[in-house]
Chains A and B, each alone.
Chain A
Amino acid sequence: MTDRVPAIGSVIAAAVLWIALLLVPVDWSVSSVPAAGSLFTVGPVSSYIVPGQTILPTEPVDRVAVPIRVGGPFGSSVPIRLLVLTEPGGDELAAAAATAVSIPAGFDLVVFELDSPLPPSRWAYLELEIPPETQWPILIGGTRSDLAEFPGQLYLRGQAGWPDQDLFHQLLRRQNLASRIPVIWSLHRAALLGYVALLLPAVTIFAGLGLVVGRRRPVLRWPLALLPLPVMVGTYYFYALL
């Protein structure tokens, strides 16, 4: 009876952890980030010199991250609104508000949580609304990386800039692992198989550890065999993506 309690408890706890790993929604980056070295400063931008960017997301998008620099004393902040339109001057698809803060590192990567997700495979236009009463100069990050993932281009005051210049941005999608697996399978199959290939020896290691320790301390056999792996995987996974 005493051996059964840790065994059943371990099975239940491990199952809960693995299920949480599969079902808790996390943020997946659905656009590549250019190298930090390719970032250059655009601006100052303002309510008059409005920065924008055309985008063509390959998947639904829930959040957009943009590096913004507030040119005031450290800690000073500016509320900024992100509008997503069908095209420059077009209809509104979504909107979000966030606060950019002046930090020692310079650019603050501001994440805008959209009020409704953007549909995939449709052109859209992002525009940053800076309040006219802002007392600090505002700069935004641009890039010349010309990545395939950035098919659009940078706009200022509603006018297109150089075709190889983009507003430095990242598109994110909130999704749980269970619904993400088919996407990874279709787009990054080798990586998914790599994770499965890693899990097999990792499971074997902890099974062996449970047997080794369990010979002297039977009560630890099942907890050691079943729990460390989901705890370690969960820690890494949620730290990385949550």
Chain B
Amino acid sequence: MSLIDLILAFVLAGVPWLAGVRLVMWLAPGEPRLPILLGAGGGVGIGAFLLALMTSLRFLPVEIAVRGVFILFVALAIWAAVELRRRRPLWDISSGWSILVFGFLGLVVVGAAMNFASGVWNGATHENLAVRMAMTAHMAAGDWPPADPYAPGVERLYRYTAQAWGASVMRIGGVGLFEAVLAITITSVVAIFGGIFATVASFRNYLFGLFAAAGFVTAAHASFLGLWRAPIGEYSASRGEILAGLDRELVQGFTGSHGFALLPGNDFTNVVAIAAGFGGAFLTVQLLRGSSARIPLAALAAVCLGAMAAAAEQTLPIALATLVILALGCAVRRDWRAALTVALIAVAGVALALVTQGSLSAIAFGSEVGSRASFGFTPENFLTLPTDAMLYSARTSPFFTVPAGQVRVGFFNPIVLKELPWVFLAFGLGAYFVFRARRFYLVPFLGMALTAFLIPGLFTDRVYPINIARFTSVGVYLAGLAAGLVAAELWTRSGRFRPAYRAVGVTLMILVMGSWVASVPLWPARLYDTANVSLAEDLEVAAFLRDGLYGRRALVLPGPTTLAGVITDDWEGQHKFVVAFGATSIPFGLDAYSGGGWYGAHYRRAYDTLDPEAMQALGIDTVVVAPQLLSADQVEMLTRARGDDRLVLDFVSSDGARFVYTYLSDDND
């Protein structure tokens, strides 16, 4: 990793943003405020870029598609720079507020970068690296549509879109996997903040925009108030050591889910999707405010909606519910044209999402490979939330205890009231402002958060039940946004009860942001130690594998043979670097979204015995070995294979902690 690569990656990730500013200037010609143009440009540009890229990839060769889309967006970005210089839009925020907001945004960005980096280099979370970044690396090195890194002969029925953006940055800039994905993740985090700020500020004011954005990015699932009585359960004479372990728990509640602060390190694809979603939200708001460019606004809003859905399918039902609420609101006001336009955005957005390849098109049209996601209607769970840990954050919070085996709790269970009191406060006060103060603009924001909370009580994911908790995650972020709006309403109330309103508003924001604020000093603790004790040598092996022709398939000894193994720190984590940074397949069939059963059975035989039939069936041509971690049986197995001239040593890392062999099957003897 070099600084030049990092800068280049951020410049390339910033191209859609600046292009988005040009689109916003075109669609909102009367908007003179630079904070709005810059804030909205990120989400709009990312949405437009993603859908252009995915549509091009569907119909054009990969090199032409990537270059063509980048040329188009670089041209738009240059045009935006020229227009900004010519028009000189107004920066109408005082220097004090500007410094404060940029400081806060800087803190959010540093947190996102640390959480992301710890997931890659410190083994803090693993799915981001081992699954999503692995897919990005294979997209950058291979052809289109991308093969599953864990089932290379099969299409993985998974969301690709954010990975495709990362892979395009790698292809165009020649930068590394870490730099590319870090750049698009951080760009998206800033775009989310800017998108919420611009959307809300465009129809209220900057204070409302700031509160809403701050609520969204800091909302957490666990209440910091429990910190004082938390049964932490660690034996340490150092409170610092105990506190260091609390970072995740502070922003991770009883759903085993996670606050937005942890999202960049857990699932960068969601971050990208949400950024595109708020681009669409800004455009929809402009449309409803009576802009003259209705058709282009609606079309680009649908593009952003489609890109968001393609990047993270679980966001689609929430966005659709919000659009339905908006359409109904327009219909109640007898603004039939606006209602129809909003409905058309929803329909066109879904249609555009289906143009892209991945999970949504597989759900809609089926697929001959893998198992697509499938959902069941389970109204018997109405008004409940899942309690189970999500795969990549499977740790127990010290702040609560859900009895073992209890997979759901009711909305009004004491544990929910204890961990998320601010959600109820925000909804209650929000309803008050809607009905008593006629603040109808709050309805869609409250509605989207409520939808996200209700979905896990109405539907189940039949392939991976735990995945339904993703809606709860998004629900908490959206509730944070709504709480920010409610707090801003309280802060700006006038009259003799003004101090009381303000006190309630401040209390609400403290409850929303408290866990995040308390976790800030603990972030660097995630970078303190690494589980990857031979990291330098893992990267040497990855460079060696990547330098060869793409398409290697490796057996990793010792290493995982199941999904559960992939997301652990076991075997010094060497498999993560082989599959991600080495862009080499490990064909054990990760899960049900690809040919998991067939690959899993064959890989297990190959892993246990180097069975020639299994090795040949899987097409394994490479064996990566950590000699110091081998069992006696594995040493004997490898010695026998070397004696039979099945294994030829190709590479030894600098300190001898990693060997790479070429496996000679009957085909390539």
Contacts and interface: CB of A to CB of B under 8 A. Distances in A.
Given A195-B524, A198-B523, A201-B103, A211 B239 contact: no
B237 A109 contact: yes
Contacts of B122: 190
B521 A170 contact: no
Nearest to B518: A236
Contacts of A207: 99, 103
Contacts of B96: 208-212, 214-215
Contact of B523 (A63, A194, A204, A233): A194
A155 interface: no
Nearest to A67: B235
B531 to A, nearest CB: 12
Contacts of B234: 33, 35-36
A237 to B, nearest CB: 8
A240 B237 CA distance: 10
A190 B239 CA distance: 21
A239 to B, nearest CB: 6
Interface stretch (B104-112, B136-144, B309-317): B104-112
A214 B99 CA distance: 13
B94 A188 contact: no
B121 interface: yes
Interface in A183-242: 188, 190-195, 197-198, 200-212, 214-215, 233, 236, 239-241
B110 A141 contact: no
B99 A211 contact: yes
Contact of A36 (B97, B113, B233, B523): B233
A65 interface: yes
B449 interface: no
B102 interface: yes
B527 interface: yes
Contact of A197 (B97, B110, B521, B525): B110
A208 B98 contact: yes
A230 to B, nearest CB: 13
Interface string B594-624: 0000000000000000000000000000000
Contacts of A236: 521
B208 to A, nearest CB: 17
A29 interface: yes
Given A195-B524, A198-B523, A29 B103 contact: no
Nearest to A168: B235
Nearest to B105: A201
A27 interface: yes
A198 B521 contact: yes
Contact of B236 (A109, A188, A195, A208): A109
Nearest to A236: B521
Contacts of A193: 527
Contacts of B527: 188, 190-191, 193-194
A170 B240 CA distance: 13
Dominant secondary structure of chain B at its interface with chain A: helix
Given A191-B525, A191-B527, A208-B96, A201 B110 contact: yes
A130 to B, nearest CB: 20
A229 to B, nearest CB: 11
B235 A33 contact: yes
B637 interface: no
A70 interface: no
B63 interface: no
A160 to B, nearest CB: 23
A107 B94 CA distance: 57
B203 to A, nearest CB: 24
Interface in B489-537: 520-521, 523-525, 527-529
A97 interface: no
| Of A27, A107, A191, A239, most B-chain CB atoms within 10 Å | A191
Nearest to B243: A240
Interface in B223-248: 233-241, 243
A80 interface: no
Interface string A26-47: 0111001101110100000000
Contacts of A139: none
B237 A212 contact: no
B94 to A, nearest CB: 7
A201 B237 contact: no
Interface string B150-171: 0000000000000000000000
Contact of A190 (B99, B100, B117): B117
B237 A205 contact: no
A111 interface: yes
| Of A107, A192, A203, A211, most B-chain CB atoms within 10 Å | A211
Given A33-B236, A212-B94, A241-B238, A188 B529 contact: yes
Given A190-B527, A191-B527, A208 B237 contact: no
Interface residues of B, number: 39
A109 B102 CA distance: 44
A192 B525 CA distance: 9
A198 B243 contact: no
Nearest to A112: B237
B239 A240 contact: yes
B114 interface: yes
A45 to B, nearest CB: 17
Contact of B238 (A27, A190, A200, A204): A27
A239 B227 CA distance: 13
Nearest to B528: A191
Nearest to A39: B235
A202 B235 contact: no
B520 A198 contact: yes
A194 B109 CA distance: 12
B99 A208 contact: yes
B521 A208 contact: no
B239 to A, nearest CB: 5
B90 interface: no
A231 to B, nearest CB: 13
A236 B247 CA distance: 14
Contacts of B121: 190
B226 to A, nearest CB: 17
Contacts of A240: 238-240, 243
Contacts of A32: 529
Contacts of A201: 103-107, 109-110
A185 to B, nearest CB: 13
A168 to B, nearest CB: 7
B99 A172 contact: no
A87 B291 CA distance: 83
A236 to B, nearest CB: 5
Contacts of B103: 201-208
B668 interface: no
A141 B237 CA distance: 14
B106 A107 contact: no
Nearest to B101: A208
A67 B235 CA distance: 8
B376 to A, nearest CB: 36
B406 interface: no
Contacts of A170: 235-238, 241
Interface string B113-125: 1100100011000
Nearest to B231: A105
B95 interface: yes
B194 to A, nearest CB: 16
Nearest to A171: B237
A204 B108 CA distance: 13
Contacts of A107: 235
B240 A241 contact: yes
Contact of A29 (B101, B114, B237, B520): B237
Given A109-B237, A236-B521, 4 more contacts: A65-B237, A190-B528, A240-B243, A241-B240
Nearest 6 pairs of A and B residues by beta carbon = A208-B100, A211-B96, A194-B524, A204-B103, A201-B106, A208-B99
20 contacts: A28-B238, A29-B237, A65-B237, A67-B235, A109-B237, A170-B241, A188-B527, A190-B528, A194-B523, A198-B107, A201-B106, A201-B109, A202-B107, A203-B103, A204-B100, A208-B99, A208-B101, A211-B100, A212-B97, A214-B96
